[in-house]
Amino acid sequence: MASHLSMEERKRISELRALGFSRGRMARVLARAKSTISRELERNRVGCLYCPVMAQQKSDQRRRERPLVRKMDRPEIADQVRRGLAAYHSPDEIAGRMKLVISDPRQRVSASTIYRWIYRQPPDTWDRCLRRYGRQRRGVKRREIAGAVAIAGRSAEANERRACGHWEGDLIQGAQRHGNVVVLVDRKSRFLLAAKTKDRQAWRVRSKLQRLLGALPPDHRRSVTFDHGSEFAEHELLAARLGLPVFFARPYCPWQRGTCENTNGLVRQFFPKGTSFDEISPQRIADVAWLLNHRPRKILGYFTPSEVITNQTPVAIED
């Protein structure tokens, strides 16, 4: 299935159009179908003008307004799930069986999809068929951020780690929410920026992010990706003030920000779970960031994040 056009592809279309390329030639240059190029120019231009930024905004707006069609809304799939639950099969067993006997991925669902569907139903409907029925389940409420742009719109440059300046962000909470640390990790270099914040209020987190990112040169400030935590609700103000696109991973998909999740684990070496950040000084957090940024990383060929982001070469040790 073809992916959506990226911002980089839209910029290339604008350049080729200015050079007088036909739609067929554009398609060959971009390795896309001619119909894709034609549809893009027809749907996302303004009058006779095609602007890649405006085209991206129009595309993102249509995607946000598009009705959400869930697999579990399809009767043939929902009936199979209901029959399995009625027989006290677990969601994992139902999903595994569907994968075994149904070859078409579009006609089956994952265990996580079944769980989300169950917890959207009225209480004591299908959850009573679960093995752990009656136990408290935390965090099942779907979090929504107004105006959030999905990670699907992020550029190929960011996805493939071609350049520094594409960041992933998160908030590490202290014990019993006593103090927090805002973290930003560069996808390519794994360079870490971190700052202590008093609480999770969106304006305070946005202020910290703005200070950390605003101190960077423009070519190291290309995009940032967050999860759907309410602390990132002021993302539009952050984007406007810094002039960089902000994207959001899908809810409950931490692997879409795997670089940040992995770095959080490295930070936890110094601040284990149960640590109250109220008792940690900002200088200590800065020191830990420095240590991690100067640690050789296998994934970087044993260069350090600091060396990669500054394009430096290690100094050879003479015998």
Q: Where are the domains of the chain?
A: 7-65, 71-129, 151-309
**113: closest CA among 68, 158, 157?**
68
Structure tokens of 68? 């959400």
CA angle 9, 13, 17 (to 5 degrees): 170
Backbone angles phi, psi at 155, to 5 degrees: -70, 155
Q: Give bridge partners of residue 225 from the DSSP assignment.
A: 168, 247
121/127 Cα distance (integer angstroms): 8
The answer to whether 109 and 97 are in contact (CB under 8 A) is: no
Structure tokens of 96? 């595994």
pLDDT at residue 134 greater than cutoff 60: no
pLDDT in tens, 59-75: 888 877 766 567 878 88
The per-residue pLDDT for 317 is 47
118/191 Cα distance (integer angstroms): 40
260/252 Cα distance (integer angstroms): 14
CATH code, residues 151-309? 3.30.420.10
pLDDT in tens, 235-253: 999 999 999 999 999 887 8
Percentage of the chain exceeding pLDDT 90: 41
Contacts of 85 (CB under 8 A, 6+ apart): 91, 94, 118, 126, 129
pLDDT in tens, 4-39: 888 889 999 999 988 989 999 998 988 899 999 998
Q: What is the DSSP string of 162-205?
A: -STTEEEEEEEE-GGG--EEEEEEETTT--EEEEEESS--HHHH
24/301 Cα distance (integer angstroms): 41
